[in-house]
Each structure stands twice: as structure tokens, then as C-alpha cells.
Amino acid sequence: MPPAQDIPKVLVLCGGLSPERDVSIRSGRRVAEALRTQGMAVTVSDADADLLQRLDATQPDCVLPALHGAGGEDGSLADVLDAVGIPYIGSSADSARIAFDKAVAKAAVRHWGLPTPDSVALPHSMFRELGAPQLMHRLVDRLKLPLIVKPTRGGSALGAAIVHDVNELPSAMVGAFAYGDVVLVERYIDGTELAVSIVEGDDGPIVLPAVEVVPDSGFYDYNARYTAGTTEFFAPARVSADVTRAVEELALTVHTNMVLRDYSRIDLIVSPEGVPHFLEVNVSPGITETSLLPQAVEAASRDLGALFAQLVRRAISRN
């Protein structure tokens, strides 16, 4: 056992006020237990109005934000932690902002010449002012059915819906607008859904085995993500060696070009022709019992606690 002064004090932040609060709490509890197995002194705290006072009182060596959604993944918390000078695990504020907004992330990916499904980002004000019926038909003419509709900001598939008929589009838009002011209408590719997690070590980023997602309902929605037994997972994914290389190259390019840090999860869809397409990126992936990052860690024969302990030490050494 190292001397007490050599044991890192880690503050795990979870909860928050986003719709993903419950998932965040589950992620925070799990990663805290994993770090405790590595002998670290871990405190779990909500990210609430008392955060700054709590940071002053506890003086952690490192903060691990296990927050999902706005306030955790949008760069705002990183800005606060940078301002008070406390090391933290995860991407910088600037990189997080690019990654968090799906429309912005897809624009960056297209700029780099990487494949991503065609899409339109539509603010609520424009949806209302241009007239929904006419606009819906124009979107379908441009993007073709089926479509997937989702908020541009936020995760866990909250507010997301697959549209097979133009008459389903208005209600899907309204459902997505309940979770944000801008909605992404994206061409739906019926292919193999994969999640590729990347962690950074001393020698650079490491691509973990891709996890294949097969929800019983056919749609990886909130229920399929967090209800045990409703989705099958395959790690590593059941794809060819050529597709695996293409998937890993795409994920690594996104992680590197967005200047992401410590860890990330890139979600992709592989078309029936075997072409991977970027969907979105997560700078604070879920760490619950059904989440994809822990499954990738296990498939790589690595220990979750040891991995995050390494990330804690990297974050402290950056300060």
C-alpha cells in the first residue's frame, strides 16, 4: 500500500441536470468502484450548485466527469475545471464542443472527406416558420426514406425516431424538438451498428475491439441501451478483417482530428456494401453495466479499474 500522500484523490462527478441524469449516476458509481479496486481515494458527487465549494473543500487531485449530455459533454464543465486549475479526465472544452453537437461533428467529418450519412440540421424556428407539411416533403425528396430524426445535442437516443413514411416525420420532429432547439434529419442506413472505443496510453491512442449492437426491437433506443436483455452485443464485432480495419481507421481519424483526449467512443454504421459511416462521437461514454466502452475494455482483456487509474495519473501529470 503506497503512503497516504501518494494515493490520488479522485472526485467522480455524476448526475447533473440533463435528461441523462440517471444514466450518469449509474456510470459514476461504477467507475468509482472500479477506481477503488486500484487503491484510489474516490469521492462521488453530484454536479450541482455547490460544485465550486466542494472542489475547494475536497481539493481533489483529479476530477473524473461521468456526466452525459449538456453540462458534462458540451465543454462547459471543462472550462470551469480549467479556470480553477484542477486536472480532469477527458477532452478539452474546445474539442468537446465540436464533438457534442452532432451537426457540427458531421460537418467536420465531411470536411475531412470521411463518409457520414447525408443530413439536414433544422432549427425549431425554421421548422415553424417555413410550414411543416411542405418542408417535410422537401426533406424526404432530398434525403429519401427511411430517415432517422434526433436532437443535435444530447445522447442516449433520447428524442430519436426512425421514419419510414413521410406522414411519420412531423411527429418525429416534434418528439426530437422536446430535447433541443435543433434537430438532425439524417438518411437512415440499415446496416451493422458498431461502437469503437479509443483510449490513450503512453504510446498514443489505442483502438479497442469494436462492439456490435443488435437490439431486439431493431432500434437502439433508450430502452434498448439501458434495459438488460433487450439488446445483443458482440465484442469483437462480427465483421470481416477488411471492414474491421476500415472501421478502426475511421474511428481513429475522428478521434485524432477532433483532438480528443484520454478516451472517446465513436458510433458508426456499416452499410450492406461494407462501408463504415460516421454517426456521432461521445467524449464521456456511458460506463453502466450495459454500456459499450466497458464491453470493449473486457474484449481487449483489460481491467476497467486499471484503465481509468492510468487515465487519472495521465490527467494529474498534465497539470
User: Which of 115-124, 155-164, 221-230, 269-278 has the lowest average pLDDT?
Assistant: 221-230
Residues of the chain with CATH 3.30.470.20: 98-115+190-301
Residue 295's pLDDT is what? 94
Q: What is the CATH number of domain 4-89?
A: 3.40.50.20
Pairwise CA distance, residues 2 & 203, whole Å: 26
Cross-strand bridge partners of residue 226: none
pLDDT band of residue 132 (cuts 50, 70, 90) is: low
Catalytic residue among 21, 26, 153, 265: 265
286 is known as an active-site residue:
yes
Average pLDDT, the chain: 89
User: Is the per-residue pLDDT at 94 higher than 80?
Assistant: yes
User: Is the per-residue pLDDT at 123 higher than 70?
Assistant: yes
Residues of the chain with CATH 3.30.1490.20: 119-187
Number of other CB atoms surrounding residue 168 within 10 Å: 17
Q: Which residue did the predictor score with more confidence, 262 or 201?
A: 262
229 is known as an active-site residue:
no
User: What is the C-alpha radius of gyration for the chain, rounded to an integer number of angstroms?
Assistant: 20
For residue 98, give the nearest of 281, 285, 286 by alpha carbon.
Answer: 281
For residue 191, give the nearest of 266, 270, 248 by alpha carbon.
Answer: 270
Residue 1's pLDDT is what? 43
User: Average pLDDT for residues 226-244, to the nearest whole number?
Assistant: 88
- 119-187: which CATH architecture? 2-Layer Sandwich (3.30)
User: Average pLDDT for residues 219-232, to the nearest whole number?
Assistant: 70
User: Is the per-residue pLDDT at 229 higher than 90?
Assistant: no
Catalytic residue among 88, 179, 188, 226: 226
Strand order in the sheet with 147-151: 119-123, 182-187, 147-151, 161-163
pLDDT band of residue 37 (cuts 50, 70, 90) is: very high
267 is known as an active-site residue:
yes
Longest Cα separation, the chain = 69
Residue 127's pLDDT is what? 72
pLDDT tens digits for range 176-207: 888 888 899 999 999 999 999 999 988 889 99
Catalytic residue among 30, 225, 280, 291: 280
User: Which of 118-127, 148-157, 159-168, 258-267 has the lowest average pLDDT?
Assistant: 148-157
User: Is the per-residue pLDDT at 15 higher than 50?
Assistant: yes
pLDDT band of residue 3 (cuts 50, 70, 90) is: very low
Q: Do 67 and 15 meet the contact criterion of CB atoms below 8 Å apart?
A: yes
User: Is the per-residue pLDDT at 103 higher than 90?
Assistant: yes
Q: Is the sign of the CA dihedral 179, 158, 45, 3 positive or negative?
A: negative
The reported pTM is 0.90
User: Which of 10-19, 33-42, 181-190 has the lowest average pLDDT?
Assistant: 10-19
Residue 195, phi then psi, degrees to nearest 5: -125, 130
Catalytic residue among 28, 180, 286, 305: 286
Residue 48's pLDDT is what? 82
Pairwise CA distance, residues 146 & 214, whole Å: 19
User: Which of 70-84, 109-123, 293-307 has the lowest average pLDDT?
Assistant: 70-84
Query: Which conformational region is residue 69 in: left (phi greater than 0), alpha (psi within -120 to 50 degrees), or beta?
Result: left
249 is known as an active-site residue:
no
Catalytic residue among 15, 18, 20, 264: 20
User: Average pLDDT for residues 289-301, to the nearest whole number?
Assistant: 93
Q: Which residues of 48-64 are buried (b: 16+ CB within 10 A; e: fewer)?
A: eeebeebbeeeebbbbb
Residues of the chain with CATH 3.40.50.20: 4-89
Residue 70's pLDDT is what? 76
Q: What is the CATH number of domain 98-115+190-301?
A: 3.30.470.20
Residue 174's pLDDT is what? 86
Beta strands in 107-229 (DSSP E): 119-123, 147-151, 161-163, 182-187, 192-201, 204-207, 211-215
